[in-house]
Amino acid sequence: MMASFRISGLSKSYGSNVIVDDLDLEIDEGEFLVLLGPSGCGKTTTLRCLAGLETPEAGRIEFKGQAVYDSSARLNVPAHKRSIGMVFQSYALWPNMTVRRNIAYPLKVRKMKDAIAAGRVEETAEMVHCGHLLDRYPSQLSGGQQQRIALARGLSARPDLVLFDEPLSNLDARLRDQVRTEIHRLHESLGFGAVFVTHDQSEAFALGDKLAIMRAGTIEQLGTPDDVYNNPATDYVADFIGMSNRLELRRSATGWQTGDGVDVLVHRDLPDAEAVVARIWPEDVQLHRGNEPLPPHAVALSASLLSSEFGGRHYDVTVAAGSEEFRLRADAATHGSWLRSSTAGEPVAISFRPDQMQVYPLGEVAVDRPLVAAS
Ligand SMILES: Nc1ncnc2c1ncn2[C@@H]1O[C@H](COP(=O)(O)OP(=O)(O)O)[C@@H](O)[C@H]1O
Ligand SMILES: [Mg+2]
């Protein structure tokens, strides 16, 4: 498919701080792209450059083959002339306007009188189940209703590209799921391209046709959710998407050792390096009680139980293997009866298949643990 929106070499600094650093990104027509990264990595700044709310220093932004920003041509098309809708974390509704006027606003700015006359405002309000709220003011709405109105305002002009800046972060868990599903459905029915910013990996996996994992102003990996989940490109990506189990392995005279100096058998070729970092999904780690026999050819470590939390069909279990902590999901049918009466410190073992490890050369890509916080 043709890339409808193309960002190339985009750079934006504040003072001497480079916030967006020579960034390239393409979004296909109708594609839902999720920009995932820790607070402060430049997600909002990138969106604001796309929308024309911020002037970059360098680069080019194209919408459907037409430049809307080009530093070398000194071209910068103003925000209201770009076919873009925006939905913010803070809703940002105009408090002195009714819901009707808020939703109509992008149509008025673009002089879309015919669409207003044809009932576009009412139709869009219905799409977000808020047709009955048109004469209210934002202060007379709940948080969930305000965010639905903000969504309607972002969509009323039927823009080619909709930019979402952490729109679900201020909603409570139940509403967040509902509005997330609504965004998904609206995208399917209206077919707009989307750039959806979040720092929440489950939101990213749930919504994205593609994920772009961002780090310090650049894209560290771009791929489908399946790609990114199964082949995180770097230790940083693995960490950020929740592949939380991390094991450093060092080459010894006879094989491989953990950082604690415990020998481990790894039935697999590893990179030709003195030390590597392995990442393993919690879902891929098996729990073994006491002296239970371990599966052959698995990577196995003895450990002790730290905690287990009931999750319905599973338990979320944390164990310590030497100085490393591992998280895993234990099936409740298999492990529930003993986990329920277990105590911290109980000896266990964990294992995983060697092909379930993602392996990176140690130190090649440093892990800076991201601050997971709303920005
Ligand atoms: N108007 C501004 N002036 C100066 N610094 C800014 C401005 N806007 C953002 N920044 C800085 O740019 C960095 C990235 O911000 P932002 O794009 O908001 O990141 P994110 O949305 O990924 O959390 C932050 O360190 C922030 O403090
Ligand atoms: Mg932000």
Digit-coded pLDDT (tens) for 113-162? 999 999 999 999 999 999 999 999 999 999 999 999 999 999 999 999 99
SS in 3 state form for 121-151? HHHHHHHCCCHHHCCCCHHHCCHHHHHHHHH
Side by side, the strands of the sheet bearing 314-321 are: 286-289, 347-352, 299-310, 314-321, 324-331
Q: Give every residue of the chain whose pLDDT is below 70, as ranges.
A: 1-2, 364-375
pLDDT at 1: 52
For residue 47, the SS3 value is helix
pLDDT at 369: 40
Is the CB of residue 213 below 6 angstroms from any atom belonging to ligand 1? no
pLDDT at 367: 44
Residue nearest to atom 5 of ligand 1 (CA): 14
C-alpha to C-alpha distances, 176 to 1, 125, 181, 212, 312, nearest whole angstrom? 31, 19, 9, 22, 21
Best residue among 11, 12, 21, 45 to mutate for probing ligand 1's pocket (most ligand atoms within 8 Å of CB) is 45
Q: Which domains does the chain have, with CATH numbers?
A: 3-236 (3.40.50.300), 246-361 (2.40.50.100)
pLDDT at 372: 36
Please give the number of the atom of ligand 1 that sits closest to the Cα of 39: 23
Nearest ligand for residue 167 CA: 2
* Of the candidates 54, 83, 219, the residue with the CA atom closest to the CA atom of residue 157: 83
C-alpha to C-alpha distances, 283 to 52, 319, 336, 339, nearest whole angstrom? 42, 14, 16, 17
Which long-range CB contacts under 8 A does 343-348 form with residues at least 24 apart? 343/305, 344/304, 344/305, 344/306, 344/307, 345/304, 345/305, 346/290, 346/304, 346/305, 347/290, 347/302, 347/303, 347/304, 347/305, 348/287, 348/288, 348/289, 348/290, 348/302, 348/303, 348/304, 348/305, 348/319
Is the CB of residue 30 below 6 angstroms from any atom belonging to ligand 1? no
Mean pLDDT of the chain: 93
Residue nearest to atom 9 of ligand 1 (CA): 45
Is the CB of residue 169 below 6 angstroms from any atom belonging to ligand 1? no
* Of the candidates 228, 117, 204, 198, the residue with the CA atom closest to the CA atom of residue 373: 198
pLDDT in tens, 300-333: 999 999 999 999 999 999 999 999 999 999 999 9
Tokens 């792209």, residue? 33
Is the CB of residue 89 below 6 angstroms from any atom belonging to ligand 1? no
Neighbours of ion ligand 2 (CB under 5 A): 43-44, 375
